[in-house]
Amino acid sequence: MYLKRLINLPRTIGFRVAGWYVFIFTLSSLCFFLITYFFLHSTLVKQNYEEILLELDEISTLYEIGGIRILENFVIENNNSRRSNPLFVRVADKTNKTFYISSPEKWQDFDLVALEKIAPDSGSDWIHLSAVNDEYILAVQSAHLSSGFWIQVGMSCEGAHNALNRFQKFFLVAMIPLFILGLAGGMILSYQTRRPIRNIIKTVQSLDIEKMTEMVPRSLSGDEMDELAGLFNKMLDNIHRLIEGMKNSLDNVAHDLRTPITRFRNIADMALQNEEDIDILKEALVKGIEESDHILKMLDTLMDISEAETGTMNMHRKQVDICDLIGKIADMYAFVAEEKGIDMDINIPGNLYISIDSDRMGQAISNILDNAVKFTAPEGHIHINAGRFNKDVIIRVKDTGTGISPEELPMIWDRLYRGSQGSTEKGLGLGLSLVKGIVEAHNGHVEAVSEPGKGSTFIIRLPEDVRDA
């Protein structure tokens, strides 16, 4: 187990994040070191050059005024005070032969004779002599005297070299805690950034088809990880609702199919008990066909609802005058309403063109009208109107029927739901689910407002630019 984890470690996000962090941290520290090193190097070298030029100026003035003796005294005094980095002084005649040279022990390492072969120049050109057994460099600058002689002053870069060496050592030592700090930082960073992922993994591991209510804890920081956790929770919630919906539908379908199938079985049983009576056999067959039609209708409607909800319903949209469609459906129900003693009036402007599947939308409007007639008592009233509001087409069917209680109102759109008053009426409890499916497949919206005992109003809102859902 642990060995497997160890083998898989390089593949984990945490390892890679920490690795990249350490790499970038170390690289940045190295860059910082190099920049500082070169800056320090150039500053120290410049300082050396400036010091040499100052000394050259002073020494050549002294020599011009007081000659070689004064110069010698000055050099001895000067070198006594700066033991660690003494000055190099050389006086050469017109032919560059050495006339005087200050040669403290320090300068034994340099090939000073070589200076006789390099023509002095009082310009900005520097002479650089390398030490024989060491890595120091002697920087020398020359000045031309009025007598035609040359005076050369130099200084070893040992001081700068030592300072840089110390800096290098300091950096190498500092790199160890810096690396440890980078590693720790990388690990903390990767641990923190992976926390939401770990939470998601933990939640997914604890999920069960029976227990889909687990949620990923949110940090509410509003960052991408928090957004991911939020989206994941939303997805879980949708899955949970879908599973619950499927379970309920399946339970309801099983329950609602049980009654017609039992009836079907009883009819067949009765017929078998009276096999000789041809009339009873014929009646059993007729009832059997009725029951099968009932079951088929229920299954067809369930299929239509699920197609509408999943967006797989076959739609044949074209520009249709919805007022014309409502008028035709209302005419069909006018007769039933009249027979029941219900007064029905229509208020539609005409010429309300909208792109819809007229068969499907007709089915939705019929279902609402069918319910209005079904749940309105004689002497009641049904009012249909339609119009354009902003850019939407709005259809309203208002009745003075039984009304729906506030507790039942949210459930009327559920599959196979039949309200308390619905159970006394004929129906499958699928009409409004289909209405909702069809309207939403047209990107529309349907809602109901109702007051028990006073009546209900069903409102369909269809956007003008009905696009494919």
For ligand ADP, the binding residues (CB under 6 A) are 367, 371-372, 375, 399, 401-404, 412, 417-419, 421-422, 427-433, 456
Phi-psi region of 47 (alpha: psi -120 to 50; beta: other; left: phi over 0): alpha
Q: How far is the CB of 310 from ligand ADP (least distance, A)?
A: 19
| Angstrom distances, CA of residue 443 to CA of 286, 367, 460 | 42, 19, 11
The Cα 218–Cα 232 span in angstroms is: 10
Distance in Å, CB of 306 to ligand ADP, minimum: 15
Which candidate, 242, 222, 296, 310, places its Cα nearest to that of 264? 296
Are 318 and 466 a contacting pair, CB within 8 Å?
no
Q: For ligand ADP, which is the closer residue by CB, 75 or 369?
A: 369
Q: Are 109 and 134 in contact (CB under 8 A)?
A: yes
- 154/401 with CB nearer ligand ADP: 401
The residues facing 226 across adjacent strands are none
Question: In whole angstroms, how close is the CB of 253 to ligand ADP at the nearest point?
Answer: 14
For ligand ADP, the closer of residues 106 and 418 by Cβ is 418
Nearer to ligand ADP, 78 or 249 (CB): 249
184 close to 192: Cβ distance less than 8 angstroms: no
Taking the C-alpha atoms of residue 347 and residue 323, their distance in angstroms, rounded to an integer, is: 9
Smaller CB separation from ligand ADP, 140 or 361: 361
Residue 455 CB, nearest approach to ligand ADP (Å): 7
Integer Cα distance of 173 and 410 in angstroms: 73
Of 196 and 431, CB closest to ligand ADP: 431
Q: Which is nearer to ligand ADP, 42 or 259 (CB)?
A: 259
Provide the minimum distance between the beta carbon of 375 and ligand ADP in the complex, in angstroms, as a whole number.
3
Nearest to ligand ADP of 152, 456 (CB atom): 456
Residues 6+ apart with CB under 8 A from 180: none
Contact indicator for 249, 231 with CB cutoff of 8 Å: no
Q: How far is the CB of 347 from ligand ADP (least distance, A)?
A: 18
Q: Which is nearer to ligand ADP, 91 or 368 (CB)?
A: 368
CB of 447 to ligand ADP, least distance (A): 12
Please give the order of strands across the beta sheet that includes 150-156: 98-101, 88-92, 150-156, 137-144, 127-130
The phi, psi pair for 343, rounded to 5°, reads: -90, 130
Q: How far apart are the first and last CA of the chain?
A: 49
Contacts of 30 (CB under 8 A, 6+ apart): none
Buried b (16+ CB within 10 A) or exposed e, 32-52: ebeeeeeeebeebeeebeebb
Q: Smallest gap, in angstroms, from Cβ of residue 191 to ligand ADP?
A: 54
Q: How near is the Cβ of 237 to ligand ADP at its closest, in Å? A: 25
